[in-house]
Amino acid sequence: MKTTNIKIIFATILVFALLSGIAHAKPLTDAFLGGLIQINDFFENEEYVAYSKTIDFFFFALIFIIIYMIGVRYSFKEVHRPERIMAISLGSMTAFLLVAAGFSVTIFLPFIHWVFYFLIFWFWWWLLG
């Protein structure tokens, strides 16, 4: 019994040793040429402007779906499929109406420091409480 386990382990190590010559790893510097530089160029060349309303919609939809899901948990005793669908549809419609009204995520950027202040205050309240 022990000899079969040793043979299997030895065969596995031998297979990995033989296949390791096939593997080729990229250097870390080559990884930056693909993904991160393309992302940087996307923002530097302002190519995101064509997608700004879509980005705003998905951001607002995510925020409001989360808010409505929290509200559904407090409104109903149990959260089933109809309640989830109601929260998702309300969140999506609220996001659509905000984007249609001309609101953007960039409007809230001057107030982001207040969010950080609130999070720090809440963290200390939780930590000391």
CB atoms within 10 A of CB 95: 21
Query: What is the average pLDDT across 14-33?
Result: 70
Residue that has been written with the tokens 């990229």 in this structure: 26
Q: What is the pLDDT of residues 64-117, one digit of tens each?
A: 999 999 999 998 888 899 999 999 999 999 999 999 999 998 888 888 899 899
- The Cα 100–Cα 3 span in angstroms is 72
Domain extents in the chain:
1-44, 46-129
Do the Cβ atoms of 88 and 65 come closer than 8 Å?
yes
Would the pTM of this model clear 0.85, i.e. be above it? no
Residues in the chain, total: 129
Question: Residues 25-59: pLDDT tens digits?
Answer: 666 666 666 777 788 888 899 888 899 999 999 99
